[in-house]
Structure formats: C-alpha cells, structure tokens
Copies of this chain bind each other. A is one copy, B any other.
C-alpha cells in the first residue's frame, strides 16, 4: 500500500536529498513538490541530478497544495513550519526538517531563535534512549539538526553509562551544503576551497541547546556543551570530535563496552573496530554513522568521534528513518548503509 508524500522546499539541499531517498523508497510515491521563489520551475534545472524527476514543476508552498498526501515533509526555513503544519489534519504524518519543534524548553527556543515557541514533537533520532518508542505511530516528527545528530550519537553512550562528567566539548567540521543553497559571498567556491573557518563560536550556535537537551536526557543530570562548528572545504559530511572528562573509575574497557552496548542492535550506527577512525567520505550519500571512541588516560578524557553525511543521516535520511517508524514500516526501508566513495 504505497503512500503519497509531498515535499515543501524541494529546491534546496535538504529537499533534494530527501527526493533522492524517496525515489528509491518502495512504499512512497512522490506527490506535490513546492518551492516558493522557485515555483513554476522544472526540477531538472534545480536538481539536475534527480533525472527521473526532471520534468516535475514546483508549485507554491501552501497548505492547499500539500493536502491530500499521507506524508508531508517540510524543508522550510526555521519558523515557517508551524503555520503550515497547523493547517494539515492530524491524520497526516508531518515531518518537519526545520528546527521549529525540536526544543522542549520554550525559553531555549526564544533565546536562540528569537520567536515564540511552536511546541515540541517527537524527536527523530531513534538511536537515543526512548526515542524509538515515541516515534512509532506518531503523526508528527521533529527531525534533529545535523550537528546534534552527529554529536549526540557520539556522546550519549558515555553519558547514558555514567562515564562522563557533565561538561562536553564538541568541535565539528561540516561540509558547505549544511549552510544551504542561498547564494552568499562567504560560501562561494572561491572562498571555501582551501579554507577551514569557524563560525557561531562561544555558545551562540542554534544547535547548542539541542545538544544540551539530548545529552542532559542521556546523563540524567544537566550537561553543559561548548560547541564550535567549523566550515570545511567539502560539499557534504560532518565530523564531530566530542570529548568530556571521564568520571572516576572509567576505564578504556568500560568506555568501549558502553559504546558496544549502545550500538549493538542499531542498523545505522557502526562502531568501528579499534584502530580505525571515522571519515566523512565513507558515509557519503549513506545513512550510516561511523563512531569511534578513545580514552586518553593522561588527560582523563573520553574522546568520541562520529562521521555522518549531514544531508543524509543528518537531515533527509534521518527524516525517512523516523518516517518509517511512524508508519510502522521496517526502520531501514529505502535507506542504505553503503556510501559512495571515493
């Protein structure tokens, strides 16, 4: 019983990646595609890599256009999802790929996003403790941010096992697609090739409260997060280098065991064999997450590193994975752990 899915925001990078995945999903038929400034244009111009959809034409993003689908994906700028979602019936599965419904604490939302809080939906990171159950059968899904996906998966096992002190330091490098498709001078190829540069330093990046929320839940105590995002000269991928001081009694063995246990049954998270380290190239286009962990005895720190594809597992793949759970389909349907490399 195939379901029809609409995608609002089909001309951007998140929307494009979602379409790439939905095209090979056996239970989804692609319905209406919208894109405001690009309404009226052929997808062949906007997403030339999606050959089977080349002749599709984008329409305006209205609740009207999105109605009559079983699933509606919202790949809209932050703050626009709530209004659209309200106009879709409670029987429609709405998957928000923006930030609007991720945060539980309205104060956090207001501080970081500067607008009234729209609410909180089940959080689409099934690997977190308790998350899978909340997603099963849900009609609303808040897809996590790309950085929180990478960082939370890297660190939650250490917190869930009570091995890490409540102060996390996260430095992550992201490919440029994470910054979107709107043309800006600092994102020009001439500027980004050959350059690494940080941004949103000092606790001001909007993904910070989301990481705090996830790690605090895993730890059962308030965790602070120092998060520094950096822009790397590659189109896709996030490498998150995360660390926290080890609690007394933690050992290399207990740390390794915690990670093995956390990911033992996970279809997408691959704890690498000891000695092998994550690489974003290995998960290019894939929904897989590579994780590795080390215990630095001299610095008394646990260092956990993850690599994801920011557009796949970090956005559209995570969205499809959660959609599968919400629809009662196998969690990995239409998703792959095979990357495109080199």
Interface of A with B (CB < 8 Å)?
Answer: 13, 16, 20, 23-24, 44-45, 47-52, 54, 167, 169, 171, 173, 175-177, 179, 181-185, 187-199, 201-203, 208, 224-226, 228, 230, 232-237, 239, 241, 243, 245, 270, 273, 276-286, 288, 290, 292, 294-301, 303, 305, 307, 336-342
Contact = CB atoms under 8 A, between A and B. Distances in A.
A234 B194 contact: yes
B235 A230 contact: no
B280 A196 contact: yes
Contacts of A189: 176, 187-189, 191-193, 233, 235
Given A188-B181, A338-B24, A299 B224 contact: yes
B24 A336 contact: yes
B52 A337 contact: yes
Given A176-B188, A284-B194, A202 B294 contact: yes
A284 B16 CA distance: 14
B44 A194 contact: no
Given A181-B190, A232-B233, A340-B340, A301 B197 contact: no
A233 B305 contact: no
User: Which of A50, A185, A226, A339: most chain B CB closer than 10 A?
Assistant: A226
A199 to B, nearest CB: 6
Contact of A49 (B44, B173, B338): B338
A190 B180 CA distance: 9
Contacts of A187: 183, 188-190
Contact of A48 (B169, B184, B232, B276): B276
B243 A169 contact: yes
A336 B276 CA distance: 31
Contact of A193 (B193, B301, B307): B193
Nearest to A202: B294
A64 B100 CA distance: 52
A286 B295 CA distance: 37
A12 to B, nearest CB: 10
Closest 3 CB pairs of A and B: A49-B339, A202-B294, A195-B281
A298 B23 CA distance: 43
B225 A341 contact: no
User: Which of A190, A245, A282, A283: most chain B CB closer than 10 A?
Assistant: A190
A98 to B, nearest CB: 19
Given A191-B189, A194-B235, A177 B49 contact: no
Contacts of A294: 201-202
User: Which of A51, A270, A282: most chain B CB closer than 10 A?
Assistant: A51
Given A194-B280, A197-B278, A173 B228 contact: no
A237 B196 contact: yes
A278 B48 CA distance: 9
A341 B235 CA distance: 8
A311 B307 CA distance: 24
Contacts of A54: 270
Contacts of A285: 285, 340
B233 A201 contact: no
A338 B301 contact: no
